Structure formats: C-alpha cells, structure tokens
Chain A
Amino acid sequence: MIGQLTAGERQLSVVILIALVIIGIAMAAAGRFDPLGVHGVVVLLCSGVLLARLLSSLFEPEPHPERLSKYYDDPIKAGIVFTMIWAVFGMFVGVWAAAQLAWPSLNFDTSWTSFGRIRPAHTTGVIFGFGGNALIATSFHVVQRTSRARLADQFSPWFVLFGYNLFCLVAVTGYLMGVTQSKEYAEAEWYADLWLVIVWVTYFVLYIRTLARRKEPHIYVANWYYMAFILVVAMLHIVNNIAIPISLSHAKSYTVWPGVQDAMVQWWYGHNAVAFFLTAGFLAMLYYYLPKRADRPIFSYRLSILSFWGITFFYMWVGSHHLHYTALPHWVQNLGMTFSVMLLVPSWASAGNALLTLNGAWHKVRDDATLRFMFIAAIFYGLSTFEGSFLAIRPVNSLSHYTDWTVGHVHAGVLGWVAMITFGALYTLVPSLWRRERMYSSMLVEAHFWLALAGTLIYIFAMWNSGIIQGLMWRTYTEQNTLTYSFIDSLVAMYPYYIARTFGGLLFLIGAIIGSYNIWMTARGAPVSRAEQDLPVVDGPVSPATPAE
C-alpha cells in the first residue's frame, strides 16, 4: 500500500506522524495520571507504529505512473477492514450491554465494564466505528466511479481513514475510563472533538477536489447525499461540542450551552446525526449499489432529487420532538412535531423509489441474498421512518418516550436499515474491489442474511412489547385514582423482553462475524483472470463506455 505513495506523499506523511508523536508525548506529559495522559500514550503508540512502518520504506522507488489511469482503491480496502472490525466490536459490546440489563452481575462489579460506560462504547462503536467507516469507504468508491476520476491525491484518503479511526479509538477507550460529556452520541471529550474537526475538514476538501476533477458534467445523486452527510455532520459536530476544558492538562470540559439551550442543541444534533449520518449517507449507498447490483437504473431520478432536498430541509427542524412535554417552549415542540410528520413524504419517496427500482426484477431479489439485504433495508427504512413520524406526535410520544419503544425504533433503523444496506453494499463492493468473480461463499451470505433478519425481528418485537407495556403500566390508575404500579413493578415486567432482546442481538452479531469471515476469505482468494470485470455479466443491453473528449 505504501508502494503507491510518491516520495512527496511519503515525506508529508512522515512529517504529520512526527507531529502526532510529539502531540502524543505532550498529552502524556501534561495529563500524567489524568485520562488525558493515557490518551497521549494511545496517540503516541498509534502514530509511532505507522511512522515505523513508513520509515522502513521511505526510500523505495517512485510508483509507476500507470497507477494514475486506475481508481485509487487501497484506502477503500482498508476502510472495509476497519468497518468489519468495528462492526464485530460494537455489536459485541451491544449484546453485552443488553445482557447486563437482564443479568446485572455480568459487569463483574468493575467500573469500566458497568452499563453506563459500555453503553456509549456500543453506540459509538456501531454508529461511528461501523457506520462511519462504511460511509467513508463507500464514498471513496462511489465518488470515483460516478465522477470517472481518481481521488484527488493519495495522502488525504489515508489521513481521513486513520485519523477517523484514531478518533473512534480515543472516544471508545475514553468512555471505558469514564471520559464523557454525557451528551448522547457526542460523548467524546474536547480534544477528540478537535481532532475530528481536522479530519473532517480534510475529508470535505478531498471530496470536493475529487468532484471538481470529474469528467461527467452532472454530479450523480449519491454524491449529493454524501456531500450533505459530510457538510451537515461538520456543522452539527462543531456547534454541539463547543466546550471549555477546565485546563489543557485535563480531559474534563464544560459545555458552553446551559440547561434548556443545551437540551435543544443536543437534540438538534442528536436527531440530525440520525438524519445526516444514519440516513443521508446510507441513502447514498442505496442510490448507487442497489441499481448497480440489480443492474437496473433507479426508478425515478427526479424523485431522488426531490427527496434529497426534502430530507435536507425538513430533518433540521425535527430535533425538538425528543423534548415533548418538557421545559422546552411549547411552540418549538409543535414545530418539531409538524415537521416530523411532513418528513414522512421525502422518506417514503426514497423507500418507494428503491422498491420500484426492483419492481420487475423480483427473481433477482429471490435468488440473490445481497440484493435481498438492500431490499429489506429499503423496507425497514420505510417502516422506521413511518414509526419515527408516528412517535413524534405528542400524545403518542407521551406513551413511548423514556421507554424501550424508542430503543426498538432506533434499532429498527440501525439494524434493519443502516446495517442491512451496508452489508448489501459491501457484498456488492468487495468482489469488484478485489477483482473476484463473487464472494467466497454465497451460502454464508445467505446465512448472514437470515441471521440478520431474524435477529432484527426478535429485537424489535421484544422492544415494542416491553416499551408499550412499560408505558401503559406507568399511566395505569386504580379505581381509587392512584397509580396502580410502582416503578419496580414495571421493571420486573421487562425482564423476559430483555432476555429476548439479548438473543436477537446475539443472532445479529453472529451474522456480522460470518460476514467478516466471508469478506476476509474473499479478499484472500485468487483474483479472477478477467481482471477488468466489475460485476457478473448479465444479459440485456449495456450502454457502451464512451469516454469524454
């Protein structure tokens, strides 16, 4: 992989890594026994290892100029490996956290394994580790193919990838040590947040430079979604994380937003992280890999444009539906509710567009588990956006809020939609990237599919049940007009569902492990001789390649 870097790029990497080593040492020295010091050591070790690797081949000859006539795929391959590592880690921690709710002694009474600390490790591991790496890797793939241009340079993709994973590592190890802002999905402390800003700006610049080099005059719609993801996440991340550290040698900081403002900013962030991280980016995958795999153009390109602007516009308003019946002003709650319901239109437009693309190719959906992953993803996208709009209605929310229904809703989204579309995209991407005819084992893809589907269904049915039961128990009155159930009564009623949920999650985890094995074996297998083949040949007219100029 280093072989492709030019001498200039290698030198630049060395300079950056030396700077990072120095930062690591400085953090370790300033922080001492504060967790900041531990993170200094983490930074030092990570950059040190990369530096050693790079120095050993610093003076190798310049790479062959022929590389410029191909797409730059090495960082994508590394990104896929990171994706699967985080998937298995994040989902394992998730199953563990779920098990702790059913059997609390499973934390072994130690601090770093207690529920409150591993829960953010689960959410960050899955959302940012698994989801984020998948988005970065696929965005590098899609932007090159749809622009018919190679990535703008060879240094920035590596910087983005390694930098981003360093952020994830620092964040997750931090939570286990108790370093957290207690802001949901933005728990990482100030220094990790600052680092992510640098990485993200590099990502944005790389993306826009690559788009600027495009040979296709029109920017394909998948790139719009990736762009919105990159841009808006930057906006959200910066605003929500403005904080003042108590000193430069401490990990602890205080947010500048107090009380009710913090609540609004936090859920403006929180819900838009769902919108632009877990929706926009993955819709980009849908709009590229689904047509590609089905070998059919998207049903309506215009509809995809309309739903793009709809989603970009509407989502920003809906965060306040997380704060119904709270101390937030009433009109803000109503605004959030109204836009949440309106949001259903562009959401269903996207889901419908995906399903109509498959209309007429149902035999492919039946036979091909990869396509079935994406088909189920579109269904779950439709379902969970409907559920989301429904739960945002104030009276419904009064029942569902604070209960497991919310957890079930989120997992319908992340297991059913995000993870399924990612696996579908990866099973499409991996053989083409490593120049294999197909995945190592289509049986294993099939097994993964059924495990993932069964796991998701068990999980969300368990949470629907527990959430609704709990919500109803909290508001049940006796004939004497007193509350019927104590809080602990409602908790006791949850245990069977917590066990079922753990089992569902376990099935999903096993599926992800099988998927990782399958991807690993595909990458290690022998390449096909027809090296130029991107996909299995199918009948039907194929528009001939017409290079510009």
Chain B
Amino acid sequence: MDLDHDTLVFISKSWGLFYLIAFAVGVLIYTFWPSNKKRFDKAKKGILDKEDRPWT
C-alpha cells in the first residue's frame, strides 16, 4: 500500500461525504416506504402483548 497522506485525506473528504448522503437517503426511503407502515404498526403494538411464552 503506497497511498500517501494527501490521497487518503482526499478520499476521506470526498467519498466520506457521498457515503453519508447515500446512506441517509436509503434510510429515509426505507422508513417512509408506504408498505412498511403496516409492519411498523404491528411491531409497535406487538410488544404490549401480555402473553409470555414463545410461539411454536
């Protein structure tokens, strides 16, 4: 590996930013994807269930 310091700093500063934005967009899409709503609502209420046994 003969990456010098300036190259590494450049990669960090440019790709780090793209990575950040791409990831944030991905997460937003997932969170607000309409068909995920049902599943989220189910998860939200599911834990309040009083049953205390594993399902088989």
Within 8 A of B (CB), among A368-407: none
A33 at the interface (CB under 8 A from B): no
A534 at the interface (CB under 8 A from B): yes
A64 at the interface (CB under 8 A from B): no
- Tally of contact residues, A, Cβ under 8 A: 40
B18 at the interface (CB under 8 A from A): no
Contacts of A221 in B (CB 8 A): 43
Contacts of B47 in A (CB 8 A): 145-146, 220, 288, 291-292, 297
Within 8 A of B (CB), among A256-305: 288, 291-292, 295-298, 301-302, 305
Contact B42 A218 (CB under 8 A): yes
Contact A533 B50 (CB under 8 A): yes
Contacts of A543 in B (CB 8 A): 45-46, 48-49
Inter-chain CA distance A7–B46, complex, in Å, is 36
Inter-chain CA distance A66–B47, complex, in Å, is 24
Assuming the A-B contacts A220-B46, A291-B47, A543-B48, are A305 and B31 also in contact, with contact meaning beta carbons closer than 8 angstroms in the complex? Answer: yes
Contact A301 B54 (CB under 8 A): no
Contacts of B30 in A (CB 8 A): 305
Assuming the A-B contacts A218-B39, A302-B32, are A148 and B44 also in contact, with contact meaning beta carbons closer than 8 angstroms in the complex? Answer: no
Chain A residue nearest in CB terms to B50? A534
Q: How many residue pairs at the A-B interface have CB separations less than 8 Å? A: 86
A412 vs chain B, min Cβ distance (A): 29
Could you say which interface size class chain B belongs to?
A: 20 to 34
Contact A291 B54 (CB under 8 A): no
Inter-chain CA distance A532–B51, complex, in Å, is 8
Inter-chain CA distance A331–B8, complex, in Å, is 13
Contact A535 B54 (CB under 8 A): no
Within 8 A of B (CB), among A521-549: 532-535, 542-543, 545, 547-549
Assuming the A-B contacts A216-B43, A543-B45, are A305 and B54 also in contact, with contact meaning beta carbons closer than 8 angstroms in the complex? Answer: no
Task: Label chain B's interface by main secondary structure.
Answer: helix
Contacts of B6 in A (CB 8 A): none
Within 8 A of A (CB), among B11-56: 13, 20, 23-24, 27-28, 30-32, 39-56
Task: Label chain A's interface by main secondary structure.
Answer: loop
A103 at the interface (CB under 8 A from B): no
A306 at the interface (CB under 8 A from B): yes
Contacts of B24 in A (CB 8 A): 309, 313
Cβ 8 A contact of A302, one of B40, B48, B51: B40
Chain B residue nearest in CB terms to A150? B54
Contacts of B28 in A (CB 8 A): 306
A71 at the interface (CB under 8 A from B): yes
Contacts of A69 in B (CB 8 A): 53-54, 56
Contact A545 B44 (CB under 8 A): no
Contacts of B42 in A (CB 8 A): 218
Assuming the A-B contacts A301-B44, A302-B40, are A70 and B32 also in contact, with contact meaning beta carbons closer than 8 angstroms in the complex? Answer: no
Contact A71 B48 (CB under 8 A): no
A217 at the interface (CB under 8 A from B): yes
A149 at the interface (CB under 8 A from B): yes
Assuming the A-B contacts A306-B31, A313-B23, are A71 and B45 also in contact, with contact meaning beta carbons closer than 8 angstroms in the complex? Answer: no
Contact A218 B43 (CB under 8 A): yes
Contacts of A295 in B (CB 8 A): 48
Contact B48 A292 (CB under 8 A): yes
Contacts of B53 in A (CB 8 A): 69-71
A144 at the interface (CB under 8 A from B): yes
Inter-chain CA distance A217–B40, complex, in Å, is 11
Contact A535 B50 (CB under 8 A): yes
Chain B residue nearest in CB terms to A217? B39
A32 at the interface (CB under 8 A from B): no
A284 vs chain B, min Cβ distance (A): 12
Contact A144 B54 (CB under 8 A): yes
A353 vs chain B, min Cβ distance (A): 11
Contacts of A296 in B (CB 8 A): 48
Jot down 11 A-B pairs with beta carbons below 8 A, ordered by A: A70-B54, A215-B55, A217-B39, A218-B39, A292-B47, A302-B32, A306-B31, A313-B23, A331-B13, A532-B52, A542-B50
Where the two chains meet, the residues of B that have a C-beta atom closer than 8 Å to any C-beta of A are 9, 13, 20, 23-24, 27-28, 30-32, 39-56
Known: A145-B52, A305-B27. 16 other contacts (CB 8 A): A71-B54, A148-B54, A148-B55, A149-B54, A217-B39, A218-B39, A218-B42, A220-B46, A220-B47, A221-B43, A296-B48, A297-B44, A297-B47, A331-B13, A534-B51, A548-B55
